[in-house]
Chains A and B, each alone.
Chain A
Amino acid sequence: MAIKEDAYTRLFKIISYAVIIIASIACLLPFLLIISASLTSNESIIRDGYHFIPQQFSLEGYRTVFTFPEEVLRAYGVTIFTTVVGTTLGLFLMTMAGYVLARKDFKYRNAFSFYIYFTTLFGGGLVPWYIMLTKYLGLLDTYTVLIFPGLMTPFLIILMKNFIRSSMPEELFESAKIDGAGDFKIYYRIVLPLSTPGIATVGLFLALAYWNDWFSSSLFINDPHKYQLQYYLYNVINSMQFIAQMGAGTGVSLSNDMPTESTKMAMAIVVTGPILLLYPFIQRYFVKGLTIGAVKG
């Protein structure tokens, strides 16, 4: 027989379940609204507004999106590519940096730490950053520009450094050295296997940053074939609204058919759909990485 819960515990449970249920409904409703809108005819959206049950059912939105599915797929490809490559490379660089900075026998570690820390306080601003990447590095319209600027995040380097310093005692490196291991060997045989929780956390942050990135595409990419997914979506949704506002005074006539409301919604579903299906399978890793990250700070 189970131990009887006291009244307070039960009350607490009731309240917390209620709060969570309400919160999750609040998260789900907007999404349901998008699904419903994507299945409604465009005219009905403008005339009747958004409804949870389509007033006038129509698949037109999806039909328009799938007239040219290769565009969406290509944007997907770009985002997956930048996320995978960026996360792998970034993790490699940041664990290296974290390890080096955590080593007490590295003479200039304070100077380097300060240098890294300094960039979080003072940045050159948008224009110098832009000039640097386009004019001096010549990265305009390349895949590199989507990956390169995000590789080393100061915050994540500091996180990694602190993680390594707090979880691995200096003596460990010393004994490994006595056993004849070089610095690089210590790094990949001892530090890397021991810092998997840290790697998971940093990797998660990094992957999310790459997946959600639209700003790099917006600034540096002219070739529509190289748009990231988020930017592709953002651009489609934005352009019509913008043109509608601007057109009145400018006499710019846009004869090309702009995406309609239902098309925009269908696009949103198509773009977010696959990652939603994927999420339940990788969710447990997310949870694990985050809790460990939270404890270790």
Chain B
Amino acid sequence: MTFTKKRKQRMSILIAAMVIMALLAGCGGGSGNSAQKASGEDDKSQKVQLQFYMLGDAPKDLPAVEAEINKMAEKDLNATVKFNYTTWTDWDQKYKLLLSSGQPIDLIFTADWTQYQAYAKKGAFLPLDDLLPKAAPALQKFVPQDMWDGVKIGGKIYTVPGTYKEYVTNGFVWREDLREKYNLPKPTDIKSYEAYMDGIRQHEPNMKPVSLNSDIKGNLHDRYSELVTKSVGALPYGIGIKYEKPTEVYKYWGSDEQKEELNTYKRWAEKGFIPKNVLNVKDTLQDQVTSGKAASIFGDNPTRFNDMVIKLKASHPDWKLEYYPFPLTTGFATPVHPIHNGFAIPKSSPNPARALAFYEKLVTDKRYNLLTQYGIEGKNYEVKDGYYQLIGNGSTNGFSREGMNSWAWRNPEYMLFDSGFDRVKKIFAELDKIQKPDLFTGFAEDYTTYQAEKAALEQVEKQYLYPLEAGLIDNVDQGLQTFMQKANQAGLEKIQTEYTKQWEAYVKEKGIK
């Protein structure tokens, strides 16, 4: 008897403790919104410190730049700003915590790859529609209207998009000196690329014909779908949507199209292009080429190609790299979507209006812009014949080009480039002629209804699809069948139906045909 009584008592303590905990947690969540001031009224006589959150690592000379910026900002806006960095280690977890804990943050980096769409949908950011004309009219004018429209989620603007137009579309990268030496064809599509790799295999048996690492899906499949199947973007869950027919969603997994893709990899693996241990390789694709281990990359973007050329110029001046953008084969190039780089004001910001006014200065005021993009002139960089020149080298200079990770507030009018960047500009100019808008990135997937299935499917994909994509399975048909069976068990049907529904709604909302 006494036993049960004691137990009851304990249970009640337990329950009470849980209730209290739940209450406390509830309070924590609720109080985050009370600090909100979205009206746009800003009393500039009160001095404030803005909290600015960036991804990545802070450059060494940040304190000096911050001090300079603060001198100007104090005079112009009666505000100082503190630049905080998350580092690249576990940044996504920190990013989530920063936004969910309701800390006083005034400006935070957003992009499609930091789940801007999802956070905006969940209400983590402040809508800027009413605030913009009052707090930052110049900024509103500076960013073209179609970009403002492009970043809208549910009809509202939640981020200030970056306005610099660039292409991160892929293209073949190969060793031109080797190609000339052995008289191999120029890679422009899968067939010519394979012939190039065949030649490398034959003449340079110790070299890898193509640079690959454990990220097989990114290295092979994503590139393939950009070049051959011409999909609207890197689609998940075996969904297929072609750029020419964005309203038609089909099942890519299990299709003949996919079989052809997998057979290609199978052939490559048999020819020895894909090493057996590829799923264990951790070296970056670029390092493998610049060290002479591999002879090509199946798809990289123009900017990174340019970085490699510069690197090689110093270490192996006799090697030559060439580039062929996929869009020249597919017939269209999509510049980065406006949400690719931007800054949002979290809901918990105590000074949204001042933050926006400061951001306007960063973008439109040349002094602010140059200082935050390139550091202090004469100390960190100098301008020679209109080109940007770093003083010293990367390890002695405390603020390299765009060292603050300041991609979002690039202003094309003030931008300075390395002389080597002319190569990229030339590629961009070529792509400009065939440009078409990015249809995919504006889409905000909401996976709350199929979260469990999604996790299960990811596991299945890793276990059964990656080896297929690495050409490691002897019987492709059978392997694909096994994968499809496991994927269906994981709930593929449900995910695809739901995703299709969301996509169709998006296409309709944006008027994409």
**A interface, CB within 8 angstroms of B:** 42-43, 46-47, 64, 67-68, 114, 118, 122, 124, 126-128, 130-132, 134-135, 140, 218-219, 222, 224, 231, 234-235, 238-239, 241-253, 255-257
Contact = CB atoms under 8 A, between A and B. Distances in A.
Contacts of A128: 24-25, 28
A238 B87 CA distance: 10
B21 interface: yes
9 contacts: A68-B395, A128-B24, A128-B25, A135-B103, A247-B304, A251-B167, A252-B407, A253-B303, A257-B394
Interface string B388-418: 0000011110001111010100000000001
Contacts of A42: 291
B455 interface: no
Contact of A67 (B59, B284, B304, B396): B396
Given A47-B293, A219-B94, A253-B402, A243 B88 contact: yes
Interface in B58-114: 58-60, 84-90, 94, 97, 100-103, 111, 113
B304 to A, nearest CB: 6
Nearest to A247: B304
A43 B315 contact: yes
Contacts of B18: 122
The SS class assigned to the A binding surface is: helix
B94 A218 contact: yes
* Shortest 7 CB-CB contacts between residues of A and residues of B: A257-B394, A251-B168, A244-B284, A256-B400, A239-B88, A222-B84, A46-B291
B88 A131 contact: no
Nearest to A133: B101
Contacts, number: 126
A67 B57 CA distance: 18
Contact of A68 (B60, B290, B301, B400): B60
B286 to A, nearest CB: 7
B113 A218 contact: no
B87 A131 contact: no
B270 interface: no
B287 interface: yes
Contacts of B13: 114
Nearest to A111: B13
Given A253-B402, A257-B394, A46 B168 contact: no
A131 B292 contact: no
A255 B410 CA distance: 15
Nearest to A67: B395
Contact of B282 (A124, A241, A256): A241
B33 to A, nearest CB: 13
Contacts of B405: 252
B283 interface: yes
Contacts of B87: 218, 235, 239
A218 B286 CA distance: 28
Given A224-B58, A241-B284, A249-B222, 17 more contacts: A43-B290, A46-B283, A46-B293, A68-B60, A122-B18, A124-B21, A128-B25, A128-B28, A131-B101, A222-B84, A222-B86, A244-B286, A249-B218, A249-B234, A251-B336, A255-B418, A256-B400
Contacts of B292: 43, 47
B307 to A, nearest CB: 7
Contacts of B175: none
B198 interface: no
Nearest to A241: B282
